Amino acid sequence: MTLPVPIFELKNVTKQFSNLPSLIDINLEIYPGECVALVGSSGAGKSTLLSLLNGTLQPTQGEVWVLGRNLTRLNSQQMRQVQRHIGTIYQQFHLVDNLQVIHNVNAGHLGRWSFLKAVVSLLYPIEVETAAKALRQVGIVEKLYERTDSLSGGQQQRVAIARTLVQNPIAILADEPISNLDPERSREIMNLLRQLSQESGKTLVTSLHAWEYARSYFHRIIGLRDGRVLFDAPVDEVSSVMVENLYRI
Ligand X SMILES: Nc1ncnc2c1ncn2[C@@H]1O[C@H](COP(=O)(O)OP(=O)(O)O)[C@@H](O)[C@H]1O
Contacts with Mg ion by CB under 5 A lie at 46-47
Q: Which does 48 bind (CB under 5 to 8 A by kind): Mg ion, ligand X, none?
A: ligand X
Q: Which does 22 bind (CB under 5 to 8 A by kind): ligand X, Mg ion, none?
A: ligand X
Among 9, 34, 39, 47, binds ligand X (CB under 6 A): 47
Which residues have CB under 8 Å from 41's CB, separation 6+? 209, 225, 246, 247
Q: Which is nearer to Mg ion, 6 or 40 (CB)?
A: 40
State which residue has the least CB distance to Mg ion: 47
**Is position 90 an interface residue for ligand X (rule: CB under 6 A)?**
no
Q: Which does 37 bind (CB under 5 to 8 A by kind): ligand X, Mg ion, none?
A: none
Angle (CA) 170-223-23 rounded to 5° is 80
Whole-angstrom distance, CA of residue 58 vs CA of residue 22: 13
For the chain, the distance separating the N- and C-terminal CA atoms, rounded to the nearest angstrom, is 44
Q: Are 206 and 199 in contact (CB under 8 A)?
A: no
**Which helix (H) or strand (E) covers residue 203, if one does?**
strand 203-208
Torsion of CA 179, 132, 134, 102, to 10 degrees: -50
Among 6, 35, 46, 177, binds ligand X (CB under 6 A): 46
**Is position 177 an interface residue for ligand X (rule: CB under 6 A)?**
no
Whole-angstrom distance, CA of residue 162 vs CA of residue 9: 27
**Is position 145 an interface residue for ligand X (rule: CB under 6 A)?**
no
**Is position 44 an interface residue for ligand X (rule: CB under 6 A)?**
yes
Whole-angstrom distance, CA of residue 74 vs CA of residue 246: 35
Q: Which range in 27-35, 37-45, 110-118, 160-168 contacts ligand X by CB under 6 A?
A: 37-45
Q: Which is nearer to ligand X, 18 or 240 (CB)?
A: 18
Q: Which range in 44-52, 101-109, 130-138, 182-190 contacts ligand X by CB under 6 A?
A: 44-52
Footprint on this chain of ligand X (rule: CB under 6 A):
17-18, 22, 40, 42-48
